[in-house]
Structure 1
Amino acid sequence: MFKKIPLAWLQLTRERTRLVIALAGIAFADILMFMQLGFREALFDANVLLHKSLEGDIVLINPQSDALLSMQSFSQRRLYQALAVKSVSSVHPIYLDFTGWKNPQTRKLRNIQVIGINPEDKLFALPGVAEKLDVIKLPDVVIFDKGSRAEFGPIAADIEQGKFVNTEVDGRKVKVGGIFELGASFGADGNIITSDQNFLRIFADKRKFGLIDIGVINLKPGTDVEVAKAQIQNFLPKDIKVLTKQEFVDFEKDYWASSTAIGFIFTLGTIMGFIVGTVIVYQILYSEVSDHMPEYATLKAMGYTQTYLLLVVFQEALILAILGFMPGFGFAMVQYTMARNATLLPIAMTARRAITVIILTILMCFISGAIAVRKLRSADPADIF
């Protein structure tokens, strides 16, 4: 059709200014959708990095826990009771809490996530942790997350330069013995890891001995995870929630998606971007159809069918969708880089998101075209001849 009469393209390019405005509007809508979807995915990804890094098969938590930022403690006896299940190879407790970190330079306090582990356990597949397990065995020594926000101070830079860094955590003097890499999230601006003994020293006034926040279970090789989960669930009392590693990840994602306003806001922002783009494209296509009514009436008089005229409008919608998507994609890449540098969140372009947005863009333009073509019904050759 385009080879014989490239009518859709000719009509769009006849008014260059209108075309540029239309493409700018579509690009704006695409950027809005890209940013909202990007932040939404970054929200999920950042908040489950710790979960995904766990070197374990089964996770035990308190059923009253909502998410990593609001974990409820439970007795470590429950974790060690799981050793009685034949498929269990080893168990490992994790302590988790938030408290004030004093910036060594500004002396300002900022909440940081403190993670306590047994230094003999290799629990996290995070860069820098395994190499520093011996270091955190020392009293009042912690390792600092280099992905933490800048408000905690230039800790990583100082350590990399060989400087000694001393500060206070919850009012207790500590030494930073090294760095690891996890990254900030919507729940935690920064993280430190230390030994279980150091953790209990830091929270001596707030913690009862024998209470942990997460229990990690390693299964014997060849064990079916779902079968082992059911065995552990049946063996332990009902005051413990038993999850597979993937279920633990989903547990966190579900909280941020359904129990907080943040997930809803980003979803709403995506919908608003779609609506804005639909309105913009509709206005352009409606103007195109209205301005070319005499031409459409002439084509009808020449024998072209209503279906052909409808296809012309939908071709215009498709052209607008593709041309508008390209600058939107480019600007979104730039915005992702800026957002990643500013927030330290793992926000990046993915093929799945690009495909999602271009499909939404085409759908957006087709919906606009479907509304605009109603005007074609009034294209009557009798009005011209």
Structure 2
Amino acid sequence: MIRDETVDREQQHKVGKKKKPLFLSWLQLRKERTKLLVAIAGISFADVLMFLQMGFQGALFSSAVEFHHSLNGEIVMTSSRSRALISLDRFTERRLYQAAGIAGVASVSPIYLNAIQWRNPYNKEIWSIYAIGINPEHQVLNIPGVEANRQKLREPDTALFNQGSRQEFGPIAQRFEAGESVITEINNRQVQVRGLFNLSPTFGINAYLVTSDVNFLRMDANRQGGLIDVGVIKLKPGVDVQTVLTQIRSRLPDDVKVMTRDDYEKAEVSFWKASTPVGYTFDLGVVIAFIVGAVIVYQILYSDVTDHLPEYATLKAMGFRDRYLLIVVFQESLILAVLAFMPGVAIALGIYQITNIATKLPMAMDLGRVAFVFILTAIMSASSAAIAVRKLQTADPADIF
């Protein structure tokens, strides 16, 4: 703000209508454009950090429950000692068939899960892939690629490959779609890829493979028959889920957990939130980004107030109250928040797309996250302004002149 210009403008409106604080806020920010650009860059950086931490956390939770969400059943059974897909324990399939005799149950389907050794057929490197074994006669997974090709799994030594897998597993999807016959080795056993499906990798699982229960037991030679990892229970139409759930729990011993599919998903998310450092790390990252942004805004506003303290003191001498001057500073902080937020969103979207291509994680922006980060940005800026204006309250015309 140029002293003469500001004083003249305020004097002109002394006898008439006072100049609106918003005009003064923008005029003051626009005057020193270099400082304005630096402030926008700093706040945008904090916004991008918050978007990235929330984006990774959202990808963590959404990818972790894609398998759970695909299950074609209302009730899920697991071992009482299972905690998540990467922390499983097996239970006897007799428990699942005991539940099949309860009124309201339409069908039950066992699922085998385990990490097995996949050999990249093109460079011969061996990687761990997460195998899902299902009965090909049952529609247990609501995944289009699986449903369209599950009958092919009746053939021995066949499997469906996850086309969302990372590149280290080989260009399987590209070669298969080009019409090539893709044959690889799993635990030293030749297996042919007969179809593709799409399931996002997670922070604990790099790729998936779907095969039949019979083929699964052939690939996982150490697996004892009759021990499964997940049981899916489908109910008859119109049956109350909670009623059947209560009956199953009352009839089965406590060596298994029986829950709705929604509760199964919540348990997986809870595991990543509470039982691993990953969820905590992302929450901490948001807090740190907020603090970094608040410090940046404070430094900018404090410097601005200090540099123009004589002008503020002059305005106070002309009869402007502290409230008016405080509004000017608060509006400066909100203008900075708005100007910095827009490029922050654009940069975050670009990084989301790059991350999705590189890692196959489901990084996606949603309106709820955009609104939440904007609110955090506004709070961050307003809080910094509240601290910076304490310097403004000390501006005394008697000290200046």
**Coarse TM-score class (shorter-chain normalised):** over 0.9
Q: Say whether 1:156 aligns with 2:160.
A: no
Amino acid at match of 1:292: H
Q: Which moved more, 1:300-309 or 1:140-149?
A: 300-309
Rounded Cα–Cα distance in structure 1 between residues aligned with 2:21 and 2:99 = 74
Deviations along 1:112-163, one digit per CA (max 9) or x if unpaired, are 0000000011111112111111111100100100001110001111110111
How far off its partner does 1:5 sit? 6.3
Rounded Cα–Cα distance in structure 2 between residues aligned with 1:187 and 1:311 = 50
Show structure 2 runs of 5+ residues with no match.
Answer: 1-17
RMSD: 1.2
Deviations along 1:2-45, one digit per CA (max 9) or x if unpaired, are 75761111111111111100000000000111011001100111
Q: Which secondary structure does the structure 1 equivalent of 2:144 belong to?
A: coil
Amino acid at match of 1:8: S
Report what 1:248 is aligned to.
264
Q: Which secondary structure does the structure 2 equivalent of 1:56 belong to?
A: coil
Report what 1:268 is aligned to.
284
Q: Which secondary structure does the structure 2 equivalent of 1:378 belong to?
A: coil
In structure 2, the CA distance between the partners of 1:116 and 1:5, relative to structure 1 (3 Å rule), is: closer
How far off its partner does 1:98 sit? 0.2
Amino acid at match of 1:268: L
Q: Say whether 1:229 aligns with 2:251.
A: no
Q: Which secondary structure does the structure 2 equivalent of 1:207 belong to?
A: coil
TM-score of the superposition, structure 1-length normalised?
A: 0.98
Q: Say whether 1:6 aligns with 2:57.
A: no
Report what 1:346 is aligned to.
362
How many residue pairs align between the two structures? 384
Report what 1:166 is aligned to.
183
In structure 1, which of residues 19, 24, 29 is the aligned counterpart of residue 41 of structure 2?
Answer: 24
Rounded Cα–Cα distance in structure 1 between residues aligned with 2:264 and 2:66 = 11
Rounded Cα–Cα distance in structure 1 between residues aligned with 2:22 and 2:174 = 63
Deviations along 1:265-302, one digit per CA (max 9) or x if unpaired, are 11111111111100000000000111111111111111
Report what 2:203 is aligned to.
186
Amino acid at match of 1:366: A
Deviations along 1:99-121, one digit per CA (max 9) or x if unpaired, are 11000011000000000000011
Question: Identical aligned pairs, as a percentage?
Answer: 52
Q: How does 1:247-326 map to 2 (within 5 A)?
A: 247-326=263-342
Amino acid at match of 1:193: V
Decide whether the 8 Å contact of 1:85 with 1:235 is kept in 2: no
Decide whether the 8 Å contact of 2:337 with 2:378 is kept in 1: yes
In structure 2, the CA distance between the partners of 1:4 and 1:141, relative to structure 1 (3 Å rule), is: closer
In structure 1, which of residues 358, 362, 367 is the aligned counterpart of residue 374 of structure 2?
Answer: 358
Rounded Cα–Cα distance in structure 1 between residues aligned with 2:248 and 2:317 = 78
Q: How does 1:197-216 map to 2 (within 5 A)?
A: 197-204=214-221, 206-216=222-232
Rounded Cα–Cα distance in structure 2 between residues aligned with 1:35 and 1:229 = 39
Amino acid at match of 1:286: Y
Amino acid at match of 2:48: I
TM-score of the superposition, structure 2-length normalised?
A: 0.94
In structure 2, which of residues 43, 47, 55 is the aligned counterpart of residue 38 of structure 1?
Answer: 55
> Which aligned runs of 4 or more in structure 1 are off by greater than 6 angstroms?
none
Show structure 1 runs of 5+ residues with no match.
Answer: none
In structure 2, the CA distance between the partners of 1:5 and 1:221, relative to structure 1 (3 Å rule), is: closer
Highest Rg: 1 or 2?
2
Rounded Cα–Cα distance in structure 2 between residues aligned with 1:4 and 1:121 = 69
Amino acid at match of 2:179: G
How far off its partner does 1:226 sit? 2.1
Report what 2:138 is aligned to.
121
Rounded Cα–Cα distance in structure 1 between residues aligned with 2:165 and 2:400 = 70
Q: Say whether 1:70 aligns with 2:87.
A: yes
